[in-house]
Amino acid sequence: MSKHIMRPVQAGYMAGMSTSGQIYRLESVIEHCRLRKEGIVCAFLDISKAFDTVKHSDLYKTMVERGIEKDIVSIVGAMYTGCEGKIIINERLS
């Protein structure tokens, strides 16, 4: 296994990193696809500790109230139902 699991462009779990660089990269990819008339589908979430600190049912209700389609809310809910996340960095499991 490689000792350098995290690529330099990744910001997740990196001290001092923010989403602003990731947003810039995303905007660049979107512009590239727009100029080439190519389709693009993406999801960009900054949920640092968000799911640890809010009541999920209230979050889903708020998403619907703000106009997010129920299908999308269901997908987000399914992503976080009964799951746990772990990462490997330098061959060590978190």
Query: What local confidence, expressed as pLDDT, does residue 1 receive?
Result: 41
| Range 4-11, long-range pairs (CB < 8 A, 24+ positions) | 5/88, 5/89, 5/90, 6/89
- Percent of the chain's residues with pLDDT above 90: 10
Query: What local confidence, expressed as pLDDT, does residue 94 receive?
Result: 65
The angle, 0 to 180 degrees and rounded to 10, between the axes of the packed helices 56-65 and 70-80 is 160
Residue 8 has pLDDT above 70, yes or no: no
Helix (H, G, I), strand (E, B) or coil at 92: strand
Mean pLDDT, residues 62-88 taken together:
81
- For the chain, give the longest Cα–Cα distance: 45
Mean pLDDT, residues 81-88 taken together:
70
Q: Which pair of structure tokens corresponds to residue 60?
A: 């889903």
